[in-house]
Structures are given as C-alpha cells and as structure tokens.
Structure 1
Amino acid sequence: MSKFINSASRQFILAIFVYIVLTPALVDGRRISNGVNKSIIKTIKVDNDEIIDCYDIFKQPSLDHPSLRNHTIQLRPSVYPKNTKLDNPGTLQLTQTWHKYGTCPHGTIPIRRNVRKHYDSTLFRKQRRPKPFHNKKPNTLQSNEDSEIHEWATIKMHGSFIGAQAKINLWNPMVESSSEMSVSQIWVRAGPYNELNTIEAGWTVDPFYFNDSQTRFFIMWTGDGYKHGCVNLLCPGFVQTSSDIGLGCNFTEMSTFNGDQKDATFSIHKDQNSGNWWVQLQGISLGYYPSSIFNRLSKTADGVDFGGEITNARSNGIHTTTQMGSGHYPSEGGLGISSYFSHVQVITENNEVIDNPENVQLYISNPYCYDLKVDEKRTNGYSFYYGGSGYNDKCQQ
C-alpha cells in the first residue's frame, strides 16, 4: 500500500512539474512558455493595472521573427543623417507614467503587457486600413467589413528617401467610440498598396488597442499592404535597444489650449551601413526595424507623409465627433489653438537632410471635417497646422 501511495505521489508531483514547465502563459498579448518568461528580468507594476516587463535585450520576443533567428543586435546607429537637428529636440520633458514606479536595468528593454489578450492579424487589418497613398476619392476609403472610414489631413512627398523627422505637438483629442482612433504621425513608405511597406511613428489615442483615452507613443509596420504587421511589439519585427522608453506607454505632459505647448521630435531613418530603419524620440534611439523583414523598404522609401488621421465609424449614423490633433481647425488660429508639425525634414538617399522640402502635396479628405494649412512664414522650418472637430453643420457624412 505504501509503495502504491509513494508511486502515486511521484506521478502527481511529476504531473505538476510538467504542467508548470509546459503550460503557456500570456505575456504581451501572446501565449508563450515559461521558458520565455525567464527572459523577464524585472517587472514593474504601474497604476491602473498597467504592467511593464523588463526583458533581456538578447531574448526579446521580436527576435522570434523568422528572418531574425540568428540576428545580431545593433545596439546603436552607426551613421546619422548629415545636418540632423538633434540639439533642439522639443519642449517635452520626456517622461512616461511608469517611470514613477521604477526603471528597467541596463541590458533590458521595457515591454508593456497588452490588455488585449487575443491579438491577431485580423484585428490589425480592422483598425489599420487603408492609407492615403493612392488616388482614391475620400468617400471610397471604406472597408467592406463595416462602415469605418479613414480620414486624413496630411502632406505627402514623393522621391527616394531614407528617413523623415518632425516635431509634433502633443494633445489629448476626444475619441467618440472605442472602435475609433486619432493619430498624429510620420509615414515612411514604399511600394504599391497591395504590397505596401510602411514604418510609422507618432502619438495616438486609441481605445481599441489600449483600453483607455490616454495619448500614447506608438510605432507600427507592415510589409504587405496591411494584411500583416503590427502596432508596437504585438508581433515580432521591431528590435528595441533602449531601456528608457516603453512603446505604447503614455506621455505625461500635454499641450493646453491657449497655454503651454508641448512637442516632441519623432524620427525614422535608415542606417546606411546596416540597412536597419531606426526610430528615435526626442533624440533617443529606441531601436530599429531590420531591412530583412521588408522587400520594398529593404532599399529606400519612395514617399513620406506627415499629419493626422482618424477613423470614422459613424456609430450614430452621422460623421463622428472624434477630434484630430487639438480638435481645432487651422482657421481658428495658430500656436496654442491648432495642432502643428514643425521642422519637417526628409532625408535623401545621399543621407542629407532637406529642411525646406519642395514639391509637397496636401492630402485632405474633407476640409470641413479636418483641415491643414502650411505656415508660409517658415520661422520653424517647414511647418503646418492641422486638425479639426469632426461632425459639424458642414461635416455630416
């Protein structure tokens, strides 16, 4: 009898051990094994149930991408664009809420645990389609899946580029529905829409992804016209190197109407030695997208865009009241009223920065809903004001 009990106990203990070792856990929106959990060096609990995991930089989940299995991490850019103005990065004192609760050690990167537990490419396509890169009429930019429409107030440039940079004014626009978003960002892109490659960086209010209405730093990419790809670190691809800034984490300072203005410098540029596309915020190199995950952007971009974007779900049968930028139009006033991009720069394939780009095209879906006006004075380099309130007497559809 005692032998039977001992044998049963051993089997029970073995079963528990196997369960603990092999049972997957949810981290950052994906099911991963406890073997990957060992990559987490430190965990920081933030308010509102937000959690930051400090991952060993050499064991970060992004390295799971098929083309990165034997990837050697580049810890910092080897080449910077000529004449890039990093000495005046913006008025923002760069802090994120989680900084109050701890820091990630050197050699680790902060990853915000995703609140959306079942992220997949279907959700990515739902929220991120189509982009303003082709000559479609604004009222045709609609998904067959639902009535959600994307609208923009942007500037566009065509050519051969390896980067783009601008200061973007930070606001906290109202978003009407949990299925909508408001974005201000830079697009670096290449290829026709069906196989479009794009890297994007900026700030967003996006309840769909983040379950709140805070203004958050984000990046995203696609290599096939938004069929696949992802926001931040929700899928492999972006190799992060900075321990200071968390992707998807909120900014703690915002601009105020007719008050203090807060802006930050966002930058995307290609390291000509490694081919990696680096993302910078306030002059801090956060990490990069390896050129190997792209086909078109493995060389150069054929266009860059700057400006605002919203999604319009028409949830009440009329145009959304979701705001773009500050929620105020350029016609209402400039600094302190309307949102702005300033010191807009593009980087040519010769690695030179163009401060005052020419041949700029304006792309505005409907100026009654959201508008854009270039600042002809150019006292802050190439600059423009943009934004709007959405639904009004002239913006109803």
Structure 2
Amino acid sequence: MECPGFIKVSGAVIAPGDIVHPVDHVPGGPIQNITLKVNKDKKSGDWWVYYGFNNIPTGVGYFPKSLFNYLAKKATRVAFGAYVRSKKGSPIPPMGSGARPNGGMGRAASFTDLRFIDKDGNSSPIMADLPKTVTNEKCHSITPIDHANCLYGGPGGCIR
C-alpha cells in the first residue's frame, strides 16, 4: 500500500493505493458502480474512506488526524483520478472499459455524481471543471466535468 498511516478496518476489501481489477467489459455487459467517499469524522477528526461495489459504501479505514497539519481542521482541495501502470517497455493497459470518453456514457468509464461534503455533512455537486493531467492523450483521456459527471478511459497500448 502506498498510503503510510492509513488504518484499514478488519475485513475491508480495498484500501488507498490498491488496484481495482477489471470488473466487466462493455458494450453489452452490465454497468458496474464503484462508490468512493472520504469524510471527516466530526468526533475524532479522522478522515474516513468508504467504498462500495454496486452497493452503499462502507468504511474501509481511516487516516488519523494526527497525520496532518492542515487537514486536522479541514480540506481545502480535492483531487480524484485513475491510472494504469505497466513495466517499462511494455504496453500500457486499457483504462476503464478501454473505450475512449467520446464513446459516451455506457461505453466509456465515468465519474458520476461528484460532490463536495461540507463540515455539516451537506453535499453539493461539483459543477465546474477541474484542472487535469493526462500523460498520453493517444492512450487515455478525460472529458471536462459537466454537471458533476465526466467520462474517461482509453485503449492503452502506448509504450512507456
């Protein structure tokens, strides 16, 4: 795991830094939903990570507030993304379903219902696009955020 200090709860099926293995191939297959949520516990001040695969997310662990300086009070930025990796000199694997974002919803992988959660637990959708980094547009890409949604993915195949 690449997240020192993270405390994984007993029975958790995933933790930050883990690889989410392919779960389906589209078109034609059912659309799978992975839900991720990060929330600051009001009582302890710890940052909890929740995960759900086609169901309501449950806590998989937390980052103790003692790990942070600024995050001990509140978060001021958010980032999310996807990545693939391969050995140097090997083709980069597909991202998401392997379909490019211009393939549309139901073909390309997507981030949907992107939200900020405030200190009182109220959420609001992310409506504005965020800065993005794409290593190689020939292999993978992402659309701008539009009404709390965006599409991403690509066939891979590029050599690092």
> Residue in 2 aligned with 1:362?
132
**Corresponding residue of 1:341:** 111
The residue number in structure 2 matching 1:247 is 14
Of all paired residues, the percent bearing the same amino acid is: 27
* TM-score, length-scaled by structure 1: 0.34
The residue number in structure 1 matching 2:151 is 385
Q: CA deviation at 1:277?
A: 0.6
Q: 1:354 to 1:269 in 2, by over 3 A?
A: same
The two structures have a TM-score, normalised by structure 2, of 0.75
After superposition, where does 1:57-206 map in structure 2 within 5 Å?
Answer: none
How far has the Cα of 1:241 moved from its partner? 4.0
What 5-or-longer segments of structure 2 have no aligned partner? Answer: none
Letter in structure 2 aligned against 1:297: L
Residue type matched to 2:48 in 1? W
* Cross-structure match for 2:94: 323
Distance in 1 (CA, whole Å) between partners of 2:48 and 2:120 is 17
Q: State the AA in 2 paired with 1:322.
A: P
Matched, 1:238 2:35: no
Residue 142 of structure 2 corresponds to residue 372 of structure 1: yes
Higher helix residue share: 1
For 1:312 and 1:390, locate their aligned partners in 2 and report how far apart those are by CA, in whole Å: 10
Match of 1:295 among 63, 69, 72: 69
Listed as ranges, the gaps of 5+ residues in structure 1 are 1-123, 125-219, 222-228, 230-236
Residue aligning to 1:264: 34
- CA RMSD between the two structures: 3.0
The AA in structure 2 aligned to 1:330 is: P
Cα deviations by residue, 1:177-215 (Å, 9 ceiling, x for unpaired): xxxxxxxxxxxxxxxxxxxxxxxxxxxxxxxxxxxxxxx
Can you list the C-alpha shifts for 1:147-177, whole angstroms capped at 9, x where unaligned?
A: xxxxxxxxxxxxxxxxxxxxxxxxxxxxxxx
Deviation at 1:346, TM superposition (A): 1.6
- Deviations 1:335-375 (CA, angstroms, capped at 9, x unpaired): 33211111111223454312133352233233222101146
- Secondary structure at 1:309 match in 2: coil
SS of the residue corresponding to residue 297 of structure 1 reads helix
Q: Highest Rg: 1 or 2?
A: 1
Q: For the residues of structure 2 that align with 1:389 and 1:309, how far apart are their CA atoms? A: 13
Is the Cα contact below 8 Å between 1:346 and 1:357 reproduced in 2? no
Rounded to whole Å, the distance in 2 between the matches of 1:255 and 1:314 is 26
